Amino acid sequence: MVATRSSRKKTQSSKRSPAKAANEYSPDEWDSVSDPSGEEYSKRCVVAAKKDKSGKVYRIYCDGIFDLFHVGHMKMLEQAKKSLGDSAKVHLLVGVCSDELTHKLKGKTVMDHKTRCESAEHCK
């Protein structure tokens, strides 16, 4: 039997101190904050990187299959490269999944691994 809204019990929220906003953490506190999903940690890293004016180089990694490389792939890589803003220096690292892994988990590809690597490499 599926529970309906009226039959569900309302649970009381536990009383916790309010969480800090992402930009309220100093880099020293990042490791002490537990976030099982990693999403909050990523947000704090992006906020800190956007504020950083030291010229530090940031590396961002994106991976994919990139079979029949298209505009959607290009936009994803562009968005990753620009995610820290214009003031941060970003090196984008792109990983292309191997044929063996792709065939095992997703199915056949149209292009072979070498061709998919070359198409991703030539994307500016």
- The 10s digit of each residue's pLDDT in 37-51 is 667 777 888 888 888
pLDDT at 16: 42
What share of the chain has pLDDT > 90, as a percent?
A: 42
Q: What is the mean pLDDT of the chain?
A: 77
Mean pLDDT for the stretch of residues 72-99: 90
> What domains, with CATH codes, occur in the chain?
22-51 (no CATH), 55-124 (3.40.50.620)
For position 9, what pLDDT does the model report?
42
Cα–Cα dist 63/87, whole Å: 24
User: Which pLDDT belongs to residue 20?
Assistant: 53
Q: Is the dihedral of CA 6, 8, 9, 10 positive or negative?
A: negative
What tens digit of pLDDT does each residue of 4-25 get? 344 444 444 444 445 555 445 5
Contact 119, 111 (CB under 8 A): yes
**pLDDT for residue 17:** 46
Helix (H) or strand (E) holding 8: none
Question: Given pLDDT bands bounded at 50, 70 and 90, which one contains residue 62?
Answer: very high
